[in-house]
Amino acid sequence: MYAKTPGTGLRFFADAPRAPTCTLPLESVARRLLKLEPANAARNAGTHAELEARGPDDT
């Protein structure tokens, strides 16, 4: 996972290219906790954070 900021300015974390596909029901506890850390930090700082959200290119 790494942080991304595309031209739109929207900041988010994404899986590394060629990373194995991980669906939410099969997600490990460690991976879920890894995603919770920055989301909770963002929320505590007063911003909006979602653990799973579709990007504009997702179908």
pTM reported for the whole predicted model: 0.55
> What is the per-residue pLDDT across 23-34, written as a single tens digit (0 to 9) for each?
666 777 887 888
- Tell me the two tokens of residue 27: 């997600």
Amino acid letter, residue 27: E
Residue-by-residue DSSP string for 7-46: TT---EEEPPTTPPP--GGG--HHHHHHHHHHHHHHHHTT
- Does residue 41 fall inside a structural domain? yes
**When comparing pLDDT for 24 and 47, which is higher?**
47
- Does residue 51 fall inside a structural domain? no
Return the sign of the alpha-carbon dihedral for residues 19, 21, 23, 29.
negative
**Partners of 13 in the β-ladder:** 3
Q: How far apart are CA 17 and CA 11, in angstroms?
A: 17
Domains contained in the chain, number: 1
- Does residue 29 fall inside a structural domain? yes
- Does residue 2 fall inside a structural domain? no
Structural domain range at position 40: 20-46
